[in-house]
Structure 1
Amino acid sequence: MESVLQVKEIRKNYGGKEVVKGITFNIEYKQIIGFLGPNGAGKSTTINMISTILDMDKGSVLFRNKDIKENEEVFKKELGLVPQDIALFSDLSAYDNVKFFGSLYGLKGNELKERVKEALECVSLWDKRKDYPDSFSGGMKRRLNIACSIVHRPKLLIMDEPTVGIDPQSRNNILEVTKKLKDEGTTIIYISHYMEEVEAICTRLIFVDEGKIIEQGDKEVIKEKYKKQGFNNLEEIFLYLTGKELRD
């Protein structure tokens, strides 16, 4: 299959300590990748380098076989990022929040209006388009956050713990939206500590700890591999790979 993203030996050093140690992986078209690891494993630093928020010290990232450093403007237009911390404007309506983010990607006129409606309908918030985020529940804010990130129809979407602290209905909606986006052609990197979510939607898994990849592959292949060792679900596999020590 076509490789959408190729991450090659990326490294990052903070104050003399290497926190990302030569991470390498490929992501193919129309996949949902579970990017998993405990707190402090290097996940956020890795994702921030991939999304160009942080410069990498060494290595390279290719998007559709082109280096993102040499094609940064094109790459950013194809990238969507759902941050863990909700990024919304409280003084703008739901509609105007999505419209603002769409305009940042160069959308305008009727195309912008159509994309805003499409994004809000996707997360079941079209009927709340005139309301303001301060009146929204936590789940509604998370869904609006996603609408802002998909209004430009990104080809690569990074979702950083998009279901933290929300109600089961919103969580179910977000998981359904994620699968729908994949089916429509978006490749997704999904970061979560909820193994039941990973089980429900991810097709491949990458486990990271201490700045290195410690396991990766097709979800079902990994489950079968560790089932033979007596581990019956992804949470047991996660704890086996990363340990049970607290990572506060």
Structure 2
Amino acid sequence: MDRAVVVEDLRRVFGDTIAVDGASWAAGTGEITCVLGPNGAGKTTTIECLEGLQQPDGGRCRVLGTDPWQASADHRARVGVMLQDGGLPQSVPASRLLAHLGRLYRTHRGPELVERLDITPFARTPVRRLSGGQRQRVALAAALLGDPEVAFLDEPTAGLDPHARLAVWDLLRERRDEGVALVVTTHGFEEAERLADRVVILDRGRVVADDTPAAIAAGGRLEDAYFALTGGLRGS
């Protein structure tokens, strides 16, 4: 595997709380890696270390061979990020935001993404007035607009209807086939089973599984394996 993303013995501590406790895993070029885990498992903290938004307390992170905490602007331009809360400016319309990003990246991908993600019906609406699902589509378009080599996508299909979810999955598969390394955090077992080439399951800051969905499920369902590995309760 050509490793675009590497996490080695990562530790992140907040006071008396160990958020990430020696986690190690990797994501390959031209693969979709889905990261699953209960709330508080360390998913967001790990991804924010990889995005350069947090500094690890131990171990190391590498994205395209670079320490994200010390990354240059040129490196950051090679990485797409879709944050948990969207991270979008609230007062501008979606169309103006994407057009501005298109000029920054010097890309013409904008119209294609607007069409593929069905953004046109609300393109002139300020971001603050969009529904949750609409904001997700705009945030995903913004993350993919610059043709990143690596993209970190936090819950990219949250709030989407089934038709829109399928369209997003198709788009992500196409980007994977173009050689992009996609790291997707999700709570959806169906999403991980249908989308992921590899699944990483975190629990209490540690990696409890790192393999293909089929290998983790071991002939059963990924959902059953997940709850067995994390000791969680169904429906929690």
Query: Counterpart in 2 of 1:11?
Result: 11
RMSD: 2.3
Q: 1:117 to 1:12 in 2, by over 3 A?
A: same
Q: Rg bigger for which structure?
A: 1
Matched length: 236
Contact 1:63 1:75 in 2 (8 A): no
Q: How much identity, in percent, do the aligned residues show?
A: 25
Query: Counterpart in 2 of 1:239?
Result: 227
Query: Counterpart in 2 of 1:68?
Result: 68
Instruction: Identify the match of residue 216 of structure 1 among 210, 218, 230.
Output: 210
**C-alpha distance in 2 between matches for 1:49 and 1:66:** 12
Letter in 2 for 1:222: I
**C-alpha distance in 1 between matches for 2:34 and 2:194:** 11
Contact 2:153 2:183 in 1 (8 A): yes
Contact 1:207 1:214 in 2 (8 A): yes
**C-alpha distance in 1 between matches for 2:122 and 2:131:** 12
Q: Give 5+ residue unaligned stretches, structure 2.
A: none
TM-score between both structures, scaled by the size of structure 1: 0.85
Contact 1:9 1:59 in 2 (8 A): yes
Query: Counterpart in 1 of 2:78?
Result: 78
Letter in 2 for 1:138: G
5 Å-filtered alignment, 1:161-176, equals 161-176=155-170
Query: Counterpart in 2 of 1:87?
Result: 87
Is 1:116 the equivalent of 2:116?
no
Cα shift at 1:22: 1.2
Query: Counterpart in 2 of 1:125?
Result: 119
Q: 1:66 to 1:49 in 2, by over 3 A?
A: closer
Q: 1:88 to 1:66 in 2, by over 3 A?
A: closer
Could you give the per-residue CA deviations for residues 206-235 of structure 1, whole angstroms, max 9, x where no partner exists? 1100110011112222223xx3xxxx2111
Q: 1:16 to 1:116 in 2, by over 3 A?
A: same
Cα shift at 1:178: 1.5
**C-alpha distance in 1 between matches for 2:230 and 2:22:** 18
Letter in 1 for 2:215: V
Query: Counterpart in 1 of 2:53?
Result: 53
